[in-house]
Amino acid sequence: MDAKELITLAGEWIEPSLKKVFPEELSDDITVKASMYSLLAGGKRIRPCLMYLFGSLLGCDLNEVLPYATSLEMIHTYSLIHDDLPCMDDDDLRRGKPTCHKVYGEGIALLAGDNLLNRAYEILFKECMSGDLAKIRAASYIASKAGIEGMIGGQSIDLDSEDKTIDTDLLYELQDKKTGALLSAACMIPCFLKEASAEVASQVMEYAMHIGLLFQIKDDILDVEADPSLLGKSTGKDERDHKSTFVTLLGMEEAQSRMNGEYQGCLDNLAALESLGYDIKDLKIITEFLAERKY
């Protein structure tokens, strides 16, 4: 299978689950409509795809992994809705479509974000109801990665450093939290569910750190180089907003070189997993895709 087929396969796994996160009888609620508008607006579903591939690699029951991938994608989507609001990044376009507040107004978009976040945890608590400690630890891990010590912490540094130049160390911390935290949850959840050994979990954890940085450096590069119609959002925003990014701080050449370093890091961790007897073929394909993506 190539990257496109893998992404399609993961998509066929996650999409039906995303469609069912609210009960049918609430489908007329305006906040539910706005939530579903953003949740089903497409996107590459990278986090569910990584969770699917690590779940497969470790031999998890993918039905047990699914609610975690669903919740994580809901948390990712809520963060996009709130980030796009005028008081944050003020974006009109997301995944090639008008942003949630452009369609439903700011009040409902705010509430739709809250709704997706809260519902993600309702789903995770349901998974905890069995009392199975592996499932509870996995749910708790997502919450910690989504919070002030993870994604929200990164957003906070980001907002706080608007119109300031930050140094590379702080940029690494910011991105490690803002983008890296949910990506590492995506990779790590199967380790929790399968109660993987420390040896395996540490390789997956390192892979997750590298793929998070690879992903973000690539995002910064694409903001300069990509075709907006392919990307599904406007480009050149970082310069317009005087944002510190890997490209603005380090220059394009050094950003490219650091991205290649992260890519190599990913491959090293995958090789270590291969030497432990795991089939890394599909993860290698997706990693290469993420490094070379044009959107």
Catalog residues that contact a copy of itself under the rule CB under 8 A: 22, 26, 29-32, 78, 82, 85, 87-88, 105-108, 110-111, 113-115, 117-119, 121-122, 124-126, 128-129, 131-133, 136-137, 139-140, 143-144, 146-149, 152-153, 155-157, 159-160
Least CB distance to a copy of itself at residue 110 (A):
6
User: Residue 119 or residue 233: which is nearer to a copy of itself going by CB?
Assistant: 119
Least CB distance to a copy of itself at residue 36 (A):
11
User: Residue 136 or residue 252: which is nearer to a copy of itself going by CB?
Assistant: 136
Least CB distance to a copy of itself at residue 139 (A):
6
Give the distance, in angstroms, between the CA of residue 198 and the centroid of all CA atoms in the same chain: 24
User: Residue 122 or residue 195: which is nearer to a copy of itself going by CB?
Assistant: 122
Contacts of 237 (CB under 8 A, 6+ apart): 89, 91, 223, 243
User: Which pairs with CB-CB distance under 8 Å and at least 24 residues apart come from 114-118?
Assistant: 114/78, 115/31, 115/32, 115/35, 115/78, 116/35, 116/38, 116/39, 116/74, 116/75, 116/77, 116/78, 116/81, 117/74, 117/75, 117/78, 117/146
The DSSP result for 181-232, as a single string, is HHHHHHHHHHHHHTT--HHHHHHHHHHHHHHHHHHHHHHHHHHHHS-HHHHT
User: Residue 84 or residue 282: which is nearer to a copy of itself going by CB?
Assistant: 84
Say how far apart CA 141 and CA 255 lie, in whole Å.
30
User: Residue 17 or residue 156: which is nearer to a copy of itself going by CB?
Assistant: 156
The interaxial angle of helices 46-58 and 3-19, nearest 10 deg, is 100
Rg over CA atoms, the chain:
18
Maximal CA-CA distance, the chain: 53
Least CB distance to a copy of itself at residue 203 (A):
25
User: Residue 164 or residue 253: which is nearer to a copy of itself going by CB?
Assistant: 164
Least CB distance to a copy of itself at residue 8 (A):
30
Least CB distance to a copy of itself at residue 118 (A):
4
